[in-house]
Chains A and B, each alone.
Chain A
Amino acid sequence: AAGVIQSPRHLIKEKRETATLKCYPIPRHDTVYWYQQGPGQDPQFLISFYEKMQSDKGSIPDRFSAQQFSDYHSELNMSSLELGDSALYFCASTFRGHGYTFGSGTRLTVV
């Protein structure tokens, strides 16, 4: 069965650079959630989208933005990267809030 696909799996960026993370939800899922998990930390909710509109916002820095496209995939754009942004970024998808499934994550390392 198709799962939630995230790309890239690994990303290394320098401070002050930008990064774009992509998430492809399970087919027919209409909602995407982004989470950040720092080293030794629990996953923290960043932002979610339902039917291409932002539906909820968590602890997402102003330097980050995200959107959901017409094919329901989502992109998390991160600018002016800081060392503290190094983390594992997960997305999850649901169909109207049901069937929560996570992707394998993108490991971002800022050097």
Chain B
Amino acid sequence: DQQVKQNSPSLSVQEGRISILNCDYTNSMFDYFLWYKKYPAEGPTFLISISSIKDKNEDGRFTVFLNKSAKHLSLHIVPSQPGDSAVYFCAASAGDVNYGGSQGNLIFGKGTKLSVKP
């Protein structure tokens, strides 16, 4: 059963507009959420994260919103740029007992392919 779900396999947005990527999760033990960007044949590149004690985290053009009651998070990119075109993975982790609550292994969603058109 997929614990982290990205229900939209693709999203197309015009340059300058907002891109909104969504992610749902089922495991209430998840307490840390991350978004990664991935180009073909490359490793995932970290974008932004949020811990479960927050409901919003912002870094430049990227903002992640977390709705714990709905077990939903979203990544907003504004303004979108053609260079943002990539596959975006949502990932979640539960506190790792080895480290007293920091990140353990990541559970990934299936990814959303974002295309930003000039």
Interface check B103, CB cutoff 8 A = yes
What is the 8 Å Cβ interface bit string for chain A, positions 82-99, against chain B (1 contact, 0 not)?
Answer: 000000101010101110
State which of B42-50, B53-61, B71-79 sits at the interface with chain A: B42-50
A23 vs B41: C-alpha distance when bound (angstroms): 16
* Nearest CB in chain B: distance from A32 CB, A: 11
Interfacial residues of chain A within 64-111, with CB under 8 A of chain B in the complex = 88, 90, 92, 94, 96-98, 100-105, 107
Instruction: Let me know if A42 and B106 touch, CB within 8 A.
Output: no
- Interface band, chain A: 20 to 34
A107 vs B42: C-alpha distance when bound (angstroms): 9
Instruction: Let me know if B98 and A101 touch, CB within 8 A.
Output: no
| Chain B residue at minimal CB-CB distance from A102 | B43
What is the 8 Å Cβ interface bit string for chain B, positions 79-105, against chain A (1 contact, 0 not)?
Answer: 000000000010000001011001111
| Chain B residue at minimal CB-CB distance from A50 | B98
Instruction: Let me know if A56 and B104 touch, CB within 8 A.
Output: yes
Interface check A27, CB cutoff 8 A = no
Not counting A41-B110, A42-B89, a sample of 19 additional A-B residue pairs whose C-beta atoms are within 8 angstroms of each other reads A6-B43, A33-B105, A42-B108, A42-B109, A43-B106, A45-B105, A48-B104, A50-B98, A58-B105, A90-B44, A92-B106, A94-B103, A96-B102, A98-B102, A100-B103, A100-B106, A101-B46, A102-B44, A104-B42
